[in-house]
Structures are given as C-alpha cells and as structure tokens.
Amino acid sequence: MGVISDNTRSRFGRRRPYLFFGGLALIVSIALLWYPLNTGTEAVRILFMTVTYLLYSTVSTVISVPYSSMSTEITGDFSLCNRVNMLRLVFSLTATAVCTLLPTVFFDRLISGQLSLWAFYSIIVFGFGSFFAIPVIFTGLFAKERAPYDSYKSKFNLSTFVLPLKVRAFRKLLILYLAQSITLDIISAVIIYYGLYVVPGMNSTIFLGTFLGMQILLFPLLNSLINRVSKTRIYRFGLPLSIACAAVIAFFPTGSTPAWIYVFSALTALGFAGAQTMTWIMFPDVVDIGTLSLGKRITGSFSGVMTFIRKSSSAVAIFTVGNVLGVTGFITPTDMEPTPIQPDATILALRLIILMSFVLLMGSAWLVAGRFNLSPELSRRVKYFLEVHNDGAKKSLSKNERMEVESILKEFG
C-alpha cells in the first residue's frame, strides 16, 4: 500500500483518493464484521468471521498507510508540522478514550436486555462506523498535500520493501514505536483478567479511561515542548516513573482498595505520555532524514513498513500472551461459572506480564532513545538541505554544509 500510494499521480494527490474511497469502504466493512450471523454451522460462522475481519484489516491498511504518510506532507514548516501532528494525536487519543468507554456501556445494556441486538448493531455500524469514516472521507476531500515529489516511481519487491530499514534513524524509530505500542497492546489484553482475578473489584474500563484521560491532559505541555526540546528526550523523560508505577500495579496486593490502582494508573500514564505521543511526531523528521539519505521521497514505504511490522508484532504479542496463560492452567469462564478461581500460576503470570512488558520493552526503548538525539535544530537543518536539493540550480551547498550533511548521514542516515 505504501508503494501504491507513493506511485499514485492524480489531480487529488497521492494519498487523498485512498482516504476518500477507503472511508466509504470502512462503513461497509464494519457492517459486515459486526453482522450477527445466527445461521449455518459453526464452521460457516468462523469462515464468515475470518473473511470479514480480513476485509476490515485490508480497508484499515488502505486508509492508515496513506493517512500516516500524509501527516508529513501537508506542510513543509517544522513548527507547523509538529503542531498539526500533535493536534492529530489529540483527536486520535480522544477517539480512543470514547471508543474504550462507550462500547462497554452499550454492551452492558445489551446483556441486561435494555438494548436489543439489532439496536446494538445499528449503534456500532452507524454510530461508531460514521464516527470513524466521516473524518477520513472529509480528509480525502479537503486536505492538501504540499510536500514536493518527483517523477520517480517504485517497483514493489523485497528490496523496495526493506529500503526504509537501511536508514539508521528509521530503525531506531521502529524500536521506540514498537516498544510503546506492544506494551499498550499487552496491557489492554490482560487488564480485564487482572481486574477479574488479581484485584477483584477493579474496573478495567475506569483503569484504561484514567490512563487515557491523563495523557490527554498532558498534550498542552507536550505541545509547548516539541519545538524546543529533543523529541527523543521527551520520549524517555518519564519512563522511569512509568516503569516503577507499573511494577506497583503488577504486585498490587489482592484485597486492597482498588481505588489506589487508578492513582497508579494515572501516574503510569504521566510517565508514559511522552513515549506514546512522540513516535508519530518524530515520523516526519525521520522521513526527511530518509529522503536526504536515499535521495528520493518514499514516505508511503516508510509508513507501510511501520504499519506492517506494528500489526505483525501486535499479533505475535497477543498470541504469546494467550498461550502463556494457557500453559499456566487458565480456567475458561462459563455461563455456570463466569469468574472461576484461577490457579496461582495464572495469577502470577498476569502480574509478570504487566511487569515485564514495561521493564523489558520500555526499558529497552529508554536506552535506545538515549542514543537517538532527534533535536529541533537537526530537523530544521535537514529540511533546509532538502529545500536546497529541491531548488536545484537556484541554490547550492557550501563546503561546510556538505560536510554537515555527511556528518548527519553518518550518524542518522
């Protein structure tokens, strides 16, 4: 998808057509994915679920790769690009909070009989489906791409796919991105079990809502820093606090007042906010470095690699967590026993999963970020060198500037 959007040439730009048509297809794919199929054999229902989920994932990729690419291309100004991407993440995280909290409310009403199945289905498809699709469609209609691109077109093959990985800065960005995203995937996957079996009485929805709400509150502070402070420094600054509080949550005493869990959730989010926010704020800067290093702007390929590796690693992580719990003797809930007493090994595994996801993943990211100084001055200089390159005959670099480019590429390229 990255190569396809990089190679697209139309009067609507390279990315916008996929956002517009992908937004239309999104509602259809959600309608099929959530359709309450009650007929046929179990095998037929499993096949229907698999096909519709693959369709939804494909539509998601058609949207997300051009969308992420476009975040680097709607302005060439360093400060404005930071502000635009920060605002984009504010909306994204707010939507995440809404879509974490509201479905639980509707699902509880469905289970209690206050909401019919088809009413629930309509809310999911036309409510949440529209909530997701309409902004994407409007972006495809009205957003403008301003980053210049030449007539070069990529051919999709293995060497093209791995080309972004040749850029040292991009490899480091991938580590930072995967560490925070996989950590969140793991926590989101196990927190409901943690609330049921480790600390009974803890509400997982309130836990995640507190976590997300704290991060939204920190956006104004982060926005004031990104034009003046290294983004990698912002990324790593609060991680020691986040790791320490996650350790407290992991070994929170069973039977203690659950209210304290929400306090530590807020403190974990306080330390984690920079890490969760900065990776996509760094993405335009890293793409610029990649353009300077490779001599061509293939933003879609960079976005495509990030999306592919993120989805693959998330699938592996969740699959691994499920198998770890299975090995410990996890007892599957039933209608007769919805919250069975789990073995001690399962309880310990849930605690260790939370602890090690932060210690290993975010600890590694903290170390990598310490060796990746993506400063505002560096990003501004890279943009200047790209402008000189694009102007061609109008400008040329001095000897000192050429040496500066070589130094940047030696460390980051």
**Same domain (yes/no): 84, 186:** no
**If you count them, how many residues does the chain have?**
413
Nearest to 350 by CA among 330, 364, 336: 330
**Same domain (yes/no): 175, 137:** no
What distance lies between CA 134 and its chain's CA centroid? 20
Domain boundary among 98, 127, 146: 146
The average confidence (pLDDT) of the chain is 89
Identity (one letter) of the amino acid at 397? Answer: L
Model pLDDT for residues 28-53, shown as the tens digit of each residue? 999 999 998 888 788 999 999 999 99
**Same domain (yes/no): 9, 45:** yes
Question: What distance in Å separates the CA atoms of residue 411 and residue 289, rounded to the nearest whole number?
Answer: 11
Mean pLDDT of 219-233: 89
* Enclosing domain of residue 84: 1-146
Q: What is the largest CA-CA distance in the chain?
A: 78
Q: Is 295 exposed, middle or buried (0-12, 13-18, 19+ CB in 10 A)?
A: exposed
Is there a domain that residue 151 lies in? no
3-state secondary structure of 155: coil
**Same domain (yes/no): 81, 184:** no
- Count of helix runs (H) and strand runs (E) in the chain: 17, 0
**Same domain (yes/no): 168, 110:** no
The pLDDT value given to residue 392: 64
Question: What distance in Å separates the CA atoms of residue 299 and residue 2, rounded to the nearest whole number?
Answer: 8
**Same domain (yes/no): 200, 123:** no
State how far the alpha carbon of 88 is from the alpha carbons of 94, 223, 334, in Å: 10, 12, 42
**Same domain (yes/no): 137, 173:** no
Is there a domain that residue 106 lies in? yes
The pLDDT value given to residue 393: 52
The pLDDT value given to residue 295: 87
List the CATH number of the domain containing 374. Answer: 1.20.1250
Is there a domain that residue 27 lies in? yes
**Same domain (yes/no): 222, 74:** no
**Same domain (yes/no): 307, 265:** yes
**Same domain (yes/no): 139, 163:** no
Q: Rounded to the nearest 5°, which phi and psi values hold at 373?
A: -90, 85
**Same domain (yes/no): 268, 135:** no
Nearest to 62 by CA among 338, 303, 277: 303
**Same domain (yes/no): 74, 195:** no
Model pLDDT for residues 93-148, shown as the tens digit of each residue? 888 878 877 887 888 888 888 989 999 999 989 998 988 999 999 999 998 888 77
Model pLDDT for residues 246-281, shown as the tens digit of each residue? 999 999 998 777 888 999 999 999 999 999 889 989
In our burial notation (b when 16+ CB lie closer than 10 A, e otherwise), range 172-194 reads bbbbbbbbbbbbbbbbebbbebb
Nearest to 81 by CA among 71, 91, 69: 71
Number of folded domains in the chain? 2
